[in-house]
């Protein structure tokens, strides 16, 4: 099965939301950069799902991830999992991200082509 390729990098939990006041209440809302990343990722994952004839999983799904960063700056791959798992749920890879079993397989620097590569396997 082909890997889903997401260009660039996912937003970290620290950079995904900002505080806002709505009707006198402080709430967290997605930043414009995070919102654009979510929209792009949902489209790419939906196209991947249809191209690879992936039926939406209702049970557990192993999600293998390879991270290729744009530079050698210190990053925490686990800090991006919430954004990735939520977007894949919205794209229909699985019905609920609580059933996703993420596995960080590797990470390295690829200055010319930063990306995240993802493989899925239904867990039986």
Query: How far is the C-alpha of 112 from the C-alpha of 77, rounded, in Å?
Result: 19
Quick one: pLDDT at residue 90?
Answer: 97
The SS3 call for residue 71 is coil
- The residues spanned by each domain of the chain are 4-122
Strand extents, DSSP E, 48-114: 61-69, 100-109
Confidence at residue 1, expressed as pLDDT on a 0 to 100 scale: 64
Residue ranges of the chain with per-residue pLDDT less than 70:
1
Residue 115 contacts residue 6 (beta carbons within 8 Å):
yes
Q: What is the pTM of this model?
A: 0.89
Strands 4-7, 25-30: parallel, antiparallel or unpaired by DSSP?
unpaired
The pLDDT value recorded for residue 29 is 83
CATH of domain 4-122: 3.30.1330.70
């Amino acid at each position: 099965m082909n890997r889903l390729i997401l260009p660039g990098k996912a937003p970290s939990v620290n950079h995904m939301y900002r505080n806002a006041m709505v009707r006198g209440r402080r709430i967290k809302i997605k930043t414009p950069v995070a919102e654009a990343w979510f929209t792009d990722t949902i489209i790419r994952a939906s196209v991947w799902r249809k191209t690879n004839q992936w039926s939406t999983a209702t049970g557990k799904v192993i999600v293998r991830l390879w991270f290729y960063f744009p530079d050698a700056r210190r990053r925490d791959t686990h800090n991006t999992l919430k954004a990735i798992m939520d977007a894949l749920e919205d794209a229909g890879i699985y019905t609920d991200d609580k059933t996703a079993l993420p596995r960080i397989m590797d990470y390295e620097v690829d200055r010319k082509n930063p990306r995240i590569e993802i493989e899925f396997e239904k867990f039986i």
